[in-house]
Amino acid sequence: MHNKKWDLRIICAHAFTILIWGTAFPAIRMGLESYTPEHLTLLRLLIASFILLLFSFIYKLRLPDLKDIPAIFIFGALGFTIYHIALNYGEKTVNAGSASLIVSVTPIVTAIFASVFLNEKMKLNGWIGGVISFIGIAFISFSQGDAIQLNSGGLFILLAAISESLFFVFQTSYLKKYGFLPFTIYTILSSTVCMLIFLPGMYTEILAVPLEVNLSVIYLGVFPTVLPYIALAYIISHTGASEATSSLYLTPVIACFVAWIWLGEVPTLVSIIGGGITILGIVIAHIPVLRKEKHSNLANNQSV
């Protein structure tokens, strides 16, 4: 009675992905202590691109079709350039845990866009969960200490989530054509090219930055930007995309814990309330999915 979804290697891949992506948010906060949002994004993507180019040469990754290159650049801008710049600007004023909570609504935003642009049906609980989550985001966006006043950082992070959602909604045909990992490599490389306009002044900034900050940026480039995608590709190949992304809702838990240990960040009362509301919305939006998976698992176990 072997269940592929609970294979030890898949569980380890899930755990690795959650852990590494959860640590990205505190690492970004560390990097922003010395780098501008643009330079932090560029340096992170340059490091990731160097590793991915080596990977591509070793495994002889084929080049994309010439006609697809403009679309790949657009996807690179949405999924990585705009996403990372907006997230970095947001984390200048929003703590790591709250930032991860806002980003965690990306699947809900993706479902909304899919219903609008692709005519995919979104159930009532999805809309209700989405509204509740956005109320939670509003609390986080307007939190300042234990008071409520506008914090534009939350809006920047919401922009990052929207950009990432557009990336997910329209990439389907390209994923089928190239596969998850090759398409991710193409888009990261293209986003790095887009970011080269921010290259002036970066070398001087690198020399002036403390060692621990540069180590954080190297960590961002090597780990959260590269390795989780390889793990995710492995999970998708064995369980499918829905199952592969289902556990990523645990990322904010890791982000909050690591930010507390590493940076000493303690969430404010308002952001805790906002985070709780956001999580409630996410749970409501995905209750039928969880029930469906549970019934499917029971049926599979009975048929073995």
For residues 61-65, give the mean pLDDT. 94
Q: Which long-range contacts (CB under 8 A, 24 or more apart) does 295-299 make?
A: 297/3, 297/5
pLDDT digits (tens, 9 = 90+) for 220-262: 999 999 998 888 878 877 776 656 666 667 788 888 889 989 9
The answer on pLDDT for 171 being more than 60 is yes
pLDDT value of position 122: 75
Q: How far apart are alpha carbons 84 and 163 in whole angstroms?
A: 10
For residues 111-121, give the mean pLDDT. 83
DSSP state of 147: E
Structure tokens at 135: 């109320």
pLDDT value of position 105: 81
The answer on pLDDT for 211 being more than 60 is yes
Contacts of 257 (CB under 8 A, 6+ apart): 22
pLDDT value of position 247: 63
pLDDT value of position 133: 82
> Does 132 or 73 have the greater pLDDT score?
73
> Does 191 or 256 have the greater pLDDT score?
191
> Does 164 or 107 have the greater pLDDT score?
164
DSSP string, 8-58: HHHHHHHHHHHHHHHHHHHHHHHHTTTS-HHHHHHHHHHHHHHHHHHHHHH
Tokens 């084929």, residue? 62
pLDDT value of position 71: 97
Domain range for 52: 4-303
What total of structural domains would you count in the chain? Answer: 1
pLDDT value of position 79: 92
Weakest mean pLDDT among 14-28, 71-85, 140-154: 140-154
The pLDDT-based confidence of 82 (bands split at 50, 70, 90) is very high
For residues 105-120, give the mean pLDDT. 82
Weakest mean pLDDT among 121-135, 196-210, 216-230: 121-135
pLDDT value of position 302: 33
pLDDT value of position 204: 92
The answer on pLDDT for 289 being more than 60 is no
The answer on pLDDT for 291 being more than 80 is no
Amino acid at 50: F
Q: Are strands 143-144 and 147-148 parallel, antiparallel or unpaired?
A: antiparallel
pLDDT above 90 covers what percent of the chain? 43
pLDDT value of position 279: 82
DSSP state of 5: G
> Does 292 or 162 have the greater pLDDT score?
162
The answer on pLDDT for 34 being more than 60 is yes
